[in-house]
Amino acid sequence: MNSGIKTKKTYDVIVMIIMIILAILFAFPLYWIITGSFKDAAAINAAVPEWFPHNPIKDNYVRLMAKPAFKWLFNAVFISVTSMALTCITASMAGYALAKKRFAGQKTLFTLLICAMALPKQVVLVPLLKEMSFLGLHDTMWAVILPTVGWPFGIFLLKQFSEGIPTEMLEAVRIDGAGEIQTFTTMVLPMVKPGIGALAIFTFISTWNDYFLQLIMLNSSDVLTISLGIAKLQAEMSNDFGLIMAGASLGAIPIVAIFLMFQKYFTQGITMGAVKG
Amino acid sequence: MSKNSNVPARSKVLSRRETRTAYLFLLPALVFFIGFVIIPMVLCLITSFFNYTMGDFSFIGIENYVKMFQDDIFLVALKNTILIVVVAVPTVTAFSLWVGASIYNMHAISRSFFRCIFYLPVVTGSVAVSVVWKWMFNKYNGLFNNVLTGMGVIDQKISWLGDERFALWCIIVILFTTSIGQPIVLYVAALGNVDPSQTEAAEVDGATKFQTFWKIKWPAIMPTTLYILIITTINSFQCYALIQLLTSGGPNHSTETIMYYIYYQAFKLNNYGYGNAMGIFLAIIIAIFSAIQLRVGKSDN
Amino acid sequence: MKKFLALLLTGAMTMSLVACGKQEAAPSNEDANAPAEAPAEEAPAEEPAADDAAAAPADGAVAGDITLWTYPVGKFGDAEAVGELVAAFNQKYPDVNVTVEYLDYQTGDDQVTAAIEAGTTPDLVLEGPERLVANWGAKGKMIDLSDLWDADTTADITANSAAVEAACKSSDGAYYEYPLCMTTHTMCINQELFEEADAMQYINEDRTWTVENFEKALQALKDHGVETTGVVYCGGQGGDQGTRALAMNLYNAQWTDAGHTEWTMNSAEGVKGLQQLKDWVDAGLLSSDAGIVASDEIQLFANETIAMSFCWNAANQLTYAAQTAFTPYAVAFPSEDGVPELCGGIWGFGIFDNGDAAKVDAAKAFIKFVCDDPTQGPESVKLTGFFPVRSSFGNIYEGTEDEERMTVYASFAQWLGDYYNVTLGWAEQRTAWWNLLQQIFGGEDVQTAADNYVNTCNEATTAASN
């Protein structure tokens, strides 16, 4: 028993050491970007890396602010938050129905969802472009939001979470006379909250980072997003890494904030149910 | 036939009512899904039978699909794509499970800390991440060459992204770091919710740590694993942003993936029809992979 | 379920028909009786041009909102500088409202493609003939600017270089670009390092050199202890004019035939040049790297990791001035006979065919003001950091702080070669080229690789001209 505890302790220490090493590796790119945003071009490209900026400068941020960076930041937040909210609402309703209702066409619909998830987004961009142009929405933020909400990933995730709700509990509530909507809001929603938290984070971040969809759908500088803005800072004949890193540092703030805000949901609640369908 | 008996009639009414309720719940999602995914998808399928470019739109039957299998670059891309999936999916899943298992019972603060750290590459965004990795892989003053020559592992500096032998593996490494954040988050949640009384009971019965994990926790987190497998498969198949930013498919097509090739055909050469045909083909492969995973996952339960 | 699917399909078909119909109607409505599948793009471009010529803009009479998209040609990527230009234009044309959006070379083409497919193209775009003429023009997306190319203008520009007019004109005789500025692309060496290595002696007074002397210079740098002399970058298409000019000049090869219909780098001279590069790399005199593109190579040059850059021009010297602690000394590409044939860059404006005559008039007024106005014209050229296409502008840098630097680069204009970038299938060629270099440095037989390259390009050219 004693030796068992000892091995367990040694194991824990080893794991901790490995974890810390990995943590450093994983944190390094962001560290390098943040410190890089305070370096001049010569320091960023120095043959001997400057692990910490010797002469921190704010020039990169000054140049970033000369562009409508805050407008881009606002646009990105608007697009991501709207997509996130709409996705969470529609996906939690649909996920519940798919997991806990028996209805005609259920199997087909689920297969369709999986197939749609498999199809690469880039392939449908041209038809999507035509559609947005037809609806008169090209070059507006809705052209990015609507396809994002339509993507069935969220339905799939929340269906998995809803499978974990015990059917007996739903029936008990129903016997007590609760209507469908009441069952959903008072019973289902609280139980799939961790799933919604996860979906909120995933949707926010993937929308934020999906610069290609933004590139195709947005032209005017008053609807550009910060990710797109950063992508467009790359020039053919010169690498303005300082400016790119300043933009990326600024752009990381809202994402980290969202992550910290929603991650508390993971500590409570239930797990996913079995995959059926 | 339900007229003959009361019970089936009632259940039919009930089931009709349930169907109606279900579709009412599905309605908002379906509006978006059909409007902005299914319709473009159907268009994509239809146009894959056309010679659809910026200046032409004429029906050519399955010619795009035939052309695909005579296109050497497409075949190389197919091979590379499958290699990425076969390597990345198991490693991402296994590694995130290991990290998840190691951190889920830590103190809340360190658990949050690690979960956050492993999520950072996702947070940073692919453009900026690729700038950093490009520097680390750089031949002349990159981090890896400095470290490896310093340690005496290599004596010639290597252009990691410019060497056919290494380029694809470099891409897989970066893909790995940007892919594990989401699985870890899900695994920590799933493992935290395995009923502790069950594991305790097993341990009292004298089961080893490994046995407890294999007999109790593994089945409990199986749905999560399945979900992670499917999502990681889809993401790995669709890997393209890193390639666009780092290698453009080179050197000598060694990092060419189907997704990058689709992008190249559609957006650089405006061969939309051909790109769509490859996209449909890719979707079929991904769907097959997902179906296999679902089947295996179900028989496991 | 079948019903559901059928409904879906019907919906999708209707949608596609409507979408197609719209696409047709949007760009040019003069071709209403085209069959449903035939795109409007193939409509003859002469017709709208003739209409526009009839309604030639009278000064001050033009009004409306126009949009300009600029690629970052010098300061045309800088909002402040372009803002001043627009303000000057509005002094003369107060009723034209110009909105400017800034593209970059990484994502710009995708954005234009998207805009073309969505029918939201800008009115004006600033770039070079390979896009305006050989790509969008050839696909029928641009308006013929023949009326701007009057006899005086043509004479003025041709007096400077006949290549410019040829480059702005498509094979069917329409002008899809109205040029503003031009330059020659050169290479550049680290002067101090060359002096230390005693290699400056191999460069002629007029900044040209022979292949023999270039090799001697590489050897001298090596003997001096320079680890990497120069890098033949081939990780992508960025700055590929540099590697093209290098390979082509060594043994005076031609990139295409004179009529720009066929690719010719698999000729004896072309293959000899490519083989020479391969031999130098194998001997350690040069390096090749499929992991970097031009911007990375210039950066290595700027921080003195390498001794020369193959991607240089007047604007680059200015961009990197703050980062270089040495003297960048621009030189021509080495050639066997010492007479180089340099790649040019020609930038100017094109107008997208958006089917609105009033906007076209306003856009033309803008072009004429920016390019031809006696006071604004030279200023616009200065914004680009390059040289005017009009000979009548003379030496616009005379008496400015840039005079010395620009005089050096002006001296290269005498070696300006054929502008073969307008050959159809250009986009395929660009990718095929850096792939060719990767194959050669990866060990493939040079003649075979070059033949494959030429085949790929010729197929693309044939496909594009049908």
Beta-bridge partner residues of C416: C342
Task: Report residue A178's pLDDT band, with 50, 70 and 90 as the boundaries.
Answer: confident
* Beta bridge pairs of residue C312: C186
**A177 has a chain B CB within 8 A of its CB:** no
Shared domain for A128 and A27, answered yes or no, is: no
Count of domains for chain A: 2
Total CB pairs under 8 A between chain B and C = 104
Summarised one tens digit per residue, pLDDT across range B269-296 is 999 999 999 999 998 888 888 888 877 7
pLDDT per position as a tens digit, A24-57: 989 999 999 999 999 988 888 777 788 888 888 8
Lowest mean pLDDT among B134-143, C46-55, C164-173: C46-55
Instruction: Give the pLDDT mean for C447-462.
Output: 95
pLDDT on residue B38: 92
Say if residue C21's pLDDT is above 60.
no
pLDDT band at B234 (very low <50, low <70, confident <90, very high): confident
Residue C355 CA to residue C29 CA, distance in Å, equals 7
Cβ C88 vs Cβ C375: under 8 Å = no
Q: Which residues, other chains included, contact B12 with Cβ-Cβ below 8 Å and sequence gap of 6+? A: B2
Q: What pLDDT is stored for residue B8 in this prediction?
A: 60
C116 near B CB under 8 A = yes
pLDDT tier at A61 (50, 70, 90 boundaries)? Answer: very high
| H/E segment holding residue C330 | strand C328-331
CB atoms within 10 A of CB B273: 26
CB pairs < 8 Å spanning A and C: 110
* Chain B interface disruption, residue of A119, A182, A209, most B CBs within 10 A: A119
Please return the burial class of C166, using the count of CB atoms within 10 Å of its CB with bins 0-12, 13-18 and 19+: middle
Please give the Cα distance from C137 to C390 (Å, whole number).
23
Q: What are phi and psi of B57, to 5 degrees?
A: -150, 85
Digit-coded pLDDT (tens) for C115-166: 999 999 999 999 999 999 999 998 899 999 999 999 999 999 998 888 899 9
- Of A270-274, B84-88, B242-246, C331-335, minimum mean pLDDT range: A270-274
Whether residue C43 has pLDDT greater than 50: no
Q: What is the CATH number of the domain that holds A234?
A: 1.10.3720.10
Q: How far apart are CA A124 and CA B77, in angstroms?
A: 20
Q: Which residues of B touch C13 (CB under 8 A)?
A: 46
Are residues A41 and C323, on separate chains, in Cβ contact within 8 Å? Answer: yes
Amino acid at B158: I
| Between A67 and C429, the higher pLDDT residue | C429
Q: Is the dihedral of CA B243, B248, B253, B254 positive or negative?
A: negative
pLDDT classification of C59: cutoffs 50, 70, 90: low
| Both structure tokens of C215 | 């090799």
pLDDT at C452 over 50: yes
- List, for residues B8-61, the tens digit of each pLDDT value: 666 788 888 888 999 999 999 999 999 999 999 999 999 999 999 888 889 999
- Nearest to B275, CA basis, from B76, B79, B74, B82: B74
Contact yes or no for B32 and A149 at CB 8 A:
yes
User: Is there a contact between B113 and A259 (Cβ–Cβ < 8 Å)?
Assistant: no
Q: Which band of pLDDT confidence, cut at 50, 70 and 90, is reported for residue C6?
A: very low
What are C446's two structure tokens? Answer: 């040079």
Gap between the Cα atoms of A225 and B284, Å rounded:
33
Question: Does A20 lie in the same domain as A133?
Answer: no
**Is a pLDDT exceeding 50 seen at residue A269?**
no
Could you give the count of Cα atoms lying within 13 Å of B20 in the half-sphere of its Cβ?
6
Q: How confident is the model at residue B299 (pLDDT cuts 50, 70, 90)?
A: low
Q: In angstroms, what CA-CA distances link A184 with A105, A175, B27, C116?
A: 22, 14, 15, 46
For residue C289, the cross-strand partners are C233
Q: Are residues A79 and A182 in the same domain?
A: yes
Residues A25 and A115 in one domain: no
Query: What is the rounded distance in angstroms from the CA atom of residue C349 to the CA atom of residue C344?
Result: 17
Chain C, 102 to 121: residues with Cβ < 8 Å from chain A are 102-107, 110-111, 114-115, 117-120
pLDDT bin (cut points 50, 70, 90) of residue A274 is low
- pLDDT value, residue B294: 78
Residues 74-103 of A with CB under 8 A from B: 86, 89-91, 93-94, 96-98, 101-103
B123 contacts on A by Cβ (under 8 Å): 30, 205, 252, 255-256, 259
Cβ separation of A46 and C303 shorter than 8 Å? yes
Helix (H, G, I), strand (E, B) or coil at C429: helix
Reading phi first (left if > 0) and then psi (alpha if -120 to 50, else beta), residue C257 is in beta
Mutation site, B21, B23, B26, interface A, largest A CB count within 10 A: B26
Q: Provide the phi-psi class of C436: left if phi over 0, else alpha when psi is between -120 and 50, else beta.
A: alpha
Residue that wins the pLDDT comparison between C29 and B123: B123
Cis peptide before B251 (omega within 30 of 0): yes
Domain range C186-341+424-465, CATH architecture: 3-Layer(aba) Sandwich (3.40)
CA–CA dist B17, B11 (Å, integer): 10
C-alpha distance from C139 to closest chain B C-alpha (Å): 6
- Asked if pLDDT for residue A97 goes beyond 80, the answer is yes
CA A159 to chain centre: 18
Residue B124's pLDDT is what? 82
Instruction: Using the predicted structure, report yes or no on whether residue B92 has a pLDDT greater than 70.
Output: yes
Q: How confident is the model at residue C54 (pLDDT cuts 50, 70, 90)?
A: very low
| Residues of chain C contacting residue A46, judged by C-beta atoms under 8 Å apart | 303
Residue A261 is predicted with a pLDDT of: 80
pLDDT of C90 > 80? The answer is yes
Give the pLDDT mean for C65-69. Answer: 95
Exposure pattern of C305-338 as b/e (b: 16+ CB <10 Å)?
A: bbbbbbbbbbbbbebbeebbeeebbbbbbbbbee
- The predicted structure's pLDDT at residue C20: 38
Q: Are residues A195 and A255 in the same domain?
A: yes
B: neighbours with 3+ CB pairs under 8 Å?
A, C
Predicted TM-score of the model (pTM): 0.87
Chain centroid to CA B196: 31
Pair (A113, A178) in one structural domain: yes
> How far B119 CA sits from the closest chain A CA (Å)?
8
* Block residue for tokens 């395929």: C428
Every domain range in chain C assigned CATH 3.40.190.10:
43-184+345-415, 186-341+424-465
Question: Which range of residues forms the domain containing residue A157?
Answer: 67-267
State the average pLDDT for chain B: 87
Q: Is C72 exposed, middle or buried (0-12, 13-18, 19+ CB in 10 A)?
A: buried
Please name the helix (run of DSSP H) or strand (run of DSSP E) that holds residue B59, with its range, or none: strand B57-59
In chain A, pLDDT over 70 holds for what percent of residues? 92
pLDDT in tens, A104-127: 889 899 888 888 887 778 788 889
Q: Three-state DSSP class for B14?
A: helix
| pLDDT tens figures, C314-364 | 988 888 888 889 999 999 999 999 899 999 999 999 999 999 999 999 999
All residues of chain C having their beta carbon less than 8 Å from the beta carbon of residue B34 are 8
Give the position of tokens 């909105």: C99
- Per-chain mean pLDDT for chain C: 86
pLDDT for res B147: 87
Distance from CA of C196 to the nearest CA of B (A): 22
C356 Cβ neighbours under 8 A, 6+ residues apart: none
How many other C-beta atoms can be found within 10 angstroms of the C-beta atom of residue A8? 11
The larger pLDDT score, comparing residue B165 to residue C53, is at: B165
- The residues, any chain, with a CB within 8 Å of residue C101's CB and separated by 6 or more, are A219, A220, A221, C67, C68, C69, C70, C122
Instruction: For residue A275, tell me if it sits in a domain.
Output: no
* pLDDT above 50 (res C13): no
Residue C33 confidence class, pLDDT cut points 50, 70, 90: very low
Most B CBs within 10 A among C7, C14, C15, hence the mutation to make, goes to C15
Q: What is the pLDDT of residues C287-310, one digit of tens each?
A: 999 999 998 999 999 989 999 999
Q: Output the pLDDT for position B7.
A: 53
The predicted-structure confidence for C204-252, as pLDDT tens digits, reads as follows: 999 999 999 999 999 999 999 999 999 999 998 888 999 999 999 999 9
The pLDDT tens digits of the residues spanning C246-291 come to: 999 999 999 999 889 999 999 999 999 999 999 999 999 999 999 9
Q: Does B264 touch chain C (CB under 8 A)?
A: yes
A131 and A171, same structural domain? Answer: yes
> A-chain residues within 8 Å CB-CB of C105?
235-236
- Nearest by CB to B162, from C38, C228, C235: name it: C235
Distance CA B239, CA C306 (A): 33
User: What is the distance of C-alpha A185 from the center of its chain?
Assistant: 25
The predicted structure's pLDDT at residue A132: 94
Joined tokens for residue C425:
């299938």
Closest to A88 in 3D by CA, of A12, A172, A199, A7: A199
Asked if pLDDT for residue B1 goes beyond 60, the answer is no
Tokens at residue A182, please? 């009441």
Give pLDDT, residue B142.
85
Please tell me the CATH code under which domain C43-184+345-415 is placed.
Answer: 3.40.190.10
C125 forms beta bridges with: C69, C350
Q: Are C168 and C133 in contact (CB under 8 A)?
A: yes
Residue C201 and residue C167 in contact, taking contact as beta carbons nearer than 8 Å: no
Q: What's the rounded mean pLDDT across residues C456-465? A: 91
pLDDT score recorded for residue C45:
39
Question: Domains along chain B?
Answer: 2-47 (no CATH), 65-300 (1.10.3720.10)
